[in-house]
Structure 1
């Protein structure tokens, strides 16, 4: 199963926010976009969805920025991906070109069970676990990088 770009960017953004602290200063959509190598427009859309889900809070104004909520810190990764992806089928058997095997096919059920196993496995992990070492070190490097440039440049 391949995740959409939207979900990928949403995961990058929330992981970046998970390592933010007061010393980081103001974390904005523009800053996250630079730090996770994504367009500001795409990050803004993903962050908007994270706000709708109650995982991120946005504060306007000069001292504003983006902040992870308590729900965001403990969110199950399986739940989060399901919410970002939508609960669509792995294959679409109906539609403009319906599959002629749909009435007796076992593949659809096998794929549905595999999708459930995928989410069940991801439900074992929380955001806090994902941003533990060594990922935390890389995310903090991004967070403290003044230019928000490439990690490789920072490590050289």
Structure 2
């Protein structure tokens, strides 16, 4: 399964905010650290704010910070909330596939997807940072 750029950027931003800890960050700063589009990251931030993973403060002295403790941010849940998990058109309610009634591929792919998500369910943002927090700070040039 391939994750979308939206989910990729969501995970990167959450890691960055976790490494910065209580310091606020800006979209431009985070985008520069990862060499990604600030415009695309702004759309990701909107999603993460709506899902309460990120808190955004406007104006002078504003910025972004985590909206939840790192141990409360489950990676599987985040992926479910940011991804379109319909692997094939036949995963929807309406299918025009000629072999739909006899096809077992749909069930196999659904099981594979469930297994993928189950593994992600075992991890939190805290687990992703773990013992590598200092190295992540250095790589992201965070004081």
Q: TM-score, normalised by structure 2?
A: 0.88
Residue 18 in 1 paired to residue 15 in 2? Answer: no
Unmatched 5+ residue regions in structure 2?
none
User: 1:1-156 counterparts in 2 under 5 A?
Assistant: 1-22=1-22, 24=23, 26-70=24-68, 73-86=71-84, 88-93=85-90, 98-134=96-132, 136-141=133-138, 142-144=140-142
Shift of 1:73: 4.7
**Per-residue displacement from partner, 1:5-60 (whole Å, max 9, x unpaired)?**
111011101110011135x5x41000000112210011111111010000100011
Aligned residues: 140
Specify the SS of the correspondent of 1:58: strand
Give 5+ residue unaligned stretches, structure 1. 146-156
Q: Give the conservation status (yes or no) of the 8 Å contact 2:20–2:142.
A: no
SS state of the match for residue 88, structure 2?
coil
SS where residue 9 of structure 1 aligns? helix
- Superposed CA RMSD in Å reads 2.1
TM-score by length of 1: 0.81
Moved over 6 A (4+): none
